[in-house]
Amino acid sequence: MFSLDPRLQADTHPLGDFPLCRLLLSNDSQYPWLILVPRREGIAEIFELPASEQQQLWQEATHLGACVQQAFGADKVNIAALGNVVRQLHVHVIARFTHDPAWPAPVWGKLPAKPYQAAEADALRARLQPLLGEGFIWAA
């Protein structure tokens, strides 16, 4: 049975589900920072997924990247799978801007997170909602 790593659970807001992945919003309002987590137990690496699910993961990641680009007009969209702190497989999709507080460095550990106010998280969700498509199921 799928369960979300406690650190991801503590540091994010759930947005909903694609066919394979849970979509989370990182609780750092400095960047539109989304995280995809395949709903598979015990997976730490992309190559541990069956080939069909590897393809599905990249389809969801690239679709989300395009949605992020369209919604926020990012100068660059970073898509990365790192697991040095949280072992559970997850893929970051982050809208980056030349004026963001970490540019051009990676966002990880650069600055303390600035948690979202409820209205800010709702506004981000509203910008993404028309773009994610019919295969996406929003969290309640």
Q: Where are the domains of the chain?
A: 6-138
Quick one: pLDDT band at residue 130, thresholds 50, 70, 90?
very high
CATH class of 6-138: alpha beta
pLDDT at 26 (0 to 100): 98
pLDDT at 102 (0 to 100): 95
How far apart (Å, rounded) are the C-alpha atoms in residues 65 and 48? 23
Average pLDDT, integer, range 79-88: 93
pTM over 0.85: yes
3-state helix, strand, coil in the chain (%, to 5): 30, 20, 50
